[in-house]
Structure 1
Amino acid sequence: MTNEQIIENNQREWWVQRWLELLDSYRFKKRLERGRNYAREGNVLSIDFEAAQALAKVQGSEPDPYQVSLSMEPFTDEDWNYVIDTMSEKAIFSAQLLAGQMPETIEQVFISNGLNLFPFTLSDVHSRCSCPDKANPCKHIAAVYYQLGDRFSEDPFVIFQLRGRSKAQILEALRERRSQGTIKASSDTVEKEEQKSQSATPKTQKKSSSDKQKSELNFEKFWQYEEPLESSLAVIVPPTDKKTVLDILGKIPLTYAEAEAAQQFLEQVYQVASQQALITAMKREE
């Protein structure tokens, strides 16, 4: 691996590095290197997903692009139910995934359920290409491997897609789990209030009309709502344009070096604060 590649990998997100490490472990380096050059030159025209399969078009030496397909062994519905249940136990997973980040301990969620999110070797990735080259991976397949790394960087849910669940399906399942927890908490509160009401003395139960009217007109508590909100009625997601408050405020009035350092620091603070806000909004404990 060249110094340029090492620097490039160090700047990648950890889940992208895990994918690139898988490629680097392949013994036929020259095949992959040709594919890397193909990807950098823009020969991968498109990558679309159909269920748990990635379908790509790669421009080769022929006028018509070659058709490439990649897939991994998808998890069963039962497997995914266990995984989603485990994810929903900690709000940090939902917060980071909603923010487009892959939690660093996400692999442990799958391992605890007897699964592996990332493949062990490149042979665990099933690939086909319409080109006449009998070698696998050919340079067209290899180009798609590296292009997928860029897709992982843009959207960490791509690795989940290859295991059989789309981004929409995972987030919807997490919202349902949170909703079920909220409904249970709300029903427990109602049950406690009913028990409290049933055990009350007749004197406590009977209120004068003036007391009742006074209670109804308590303006200090008018905007307060003690019951938990139904989480399925609200979807908390980051801005679709990926702009933060820092982007909206514009250039920091400092020297270039100072502004660059301040910008990087504030971006880290903003990311942590955003994740904590999502966790607080979900009203879930770690």
Structure 2
Amino acid sequence: MTTVVHPRTPARRGAARASRWWAKAWVRAVEEASYSSADLSTARTISRSGRIGQISVEPGRFVAAVEDESGLWAVLGTVPVLEPSALDALVEAVAAESGRVAALLAGDLPHTLVEHAEEAGVELLPFGTELGSTCTCQAWADPCPHALAVMYQLAWLLDDDPLVLLHLRGLARDELLARLHERSAPESETGSGDDGDTDVDTDVDIAADAALRAAALLAELEAADRPSAT
């Protein structure tokens, strides 16, 4: 099971809102899951406070520590993982059109991809009733304000990287790329694949290489910004 730990988000001003359409859909589900506007108001305040630790994401769940005036709490949230047949259909939807995997790796979730997946019976974006959580604060509401705050921060992660949503639904980034390669490699090796499969395979290679180069550049910049040891 692939687990990715996302860095702690520093305190920020302004509303705890998302800007991209899929992240806004996530926020809508979060707000549907809440019990009261007061809980949402408290959650937004916590989410902006910088007192939520690193968020660990894996298929079907996310975990984070949350601090408030009453103490330190551990939140475990859940999202239903897609069935194997639905995951297969999702991979097919990504591969169906050249440029979709590159868009995902560049931080975009095409409307057409989600619509294509829905036509195949795959609901990628969750409903409020699908979001579950537990928290050591033992509040009677599920989700409690601490869990809602973590979900708001997940919306910010989704804003930057829609692959976080696929990961929660059961299809981690590396698995997606591997399955796209497996899907097109046999036909590419025999020369019997059509142009669409060749385009997808090339798409994966180019996009993955660009992503790796970007990650290496960010690592170099972060290293340069760190103060040298004295």
1:175 Cα deviation from its structure 2 partner: 2.3
2:210 corresponds to 1:240 = no
SS in 2 for 1:59: strand
1:120-169 deviation per Cα after TM superposition (whole angstroms, max 9, x unaligned): 2x221111111132122211011111110111122211111111111111
Conserved? CA contact 1:94–1:174, under 8 Å: no
The structure, 1 or 2, with the larger RCO (C-alpha pairs under 8 Å, 6+ apart) is: 2
Counterpart in the other structure of 1:108: 115
Mark the CA change 1:102 to 1:36 in structure 2 (over 3 Å): closer, same or farther.
Answer: same
Counterpart in the other structure of 1:52: 60
Mark the CA change 1:236 to 1:188 in structure 2 (over 3 Å): closer, same or farther.
Answer: closer
Counterpart in the other structure of 1:71: 78
1:113 Cα deviation from its structure 2 partner: 1.8
Pick aligned residue for 1:35 from 28, 33, 43? 43
1:188 Cα deviation from its structure 2 partner: 7.6
2:153 corresponds to 1:147 = yes
Pick aligned residue for 1:137 from 135, 143, 149? 143
Percent identity between the aligned chains? 24
Normalising by the residue count of structure 2, what TM-score does the alignment of the two structures yield? 0.74
Conserved? CA contact 2:132–2:143, under 8 Å: no
1:50-81 deviation per Cα after TM superposition (whole angstroms, max 9, x unaligned): 33210111113345x21111111111222211
Conserved? CA contact 2:52–2:66, under 8 Å: yes
Conserved? CA contact 1:35–1:143, under 8 Å: yes
Pick aligned residue for 1:127 from 120, 130, 133? 133
Normalising by the residue count of structure 1, what TM-score does the alignment of the two structures yield? 0.60
**What number of residue pairs does the alignment pair up?**
195
CA RMSD after TM alignment: 2.9
Q: Give structure 1 stretches of 5+ with no counterpart.
A: 190-227, 244-286
Pick aligned residue for 1:159 from 159, 165, 168? 165
Amino acid at match of 2:54: S
Conserved? CA contact 2:58–2:168, under 8 Å: no
Conserved? CA contact 1:110–1:117, under 8 Å: yes
Instruction: Give the Cα–Cα distance (whole angstroms) in 1 for the partners of residues 148 and 84 of structure 2.
Output: 30
Conserved? CA contact 2:60–2:170, under 8 Å: yes
Larger radius of gyration: 1
Amino acid at match of 2:114: E
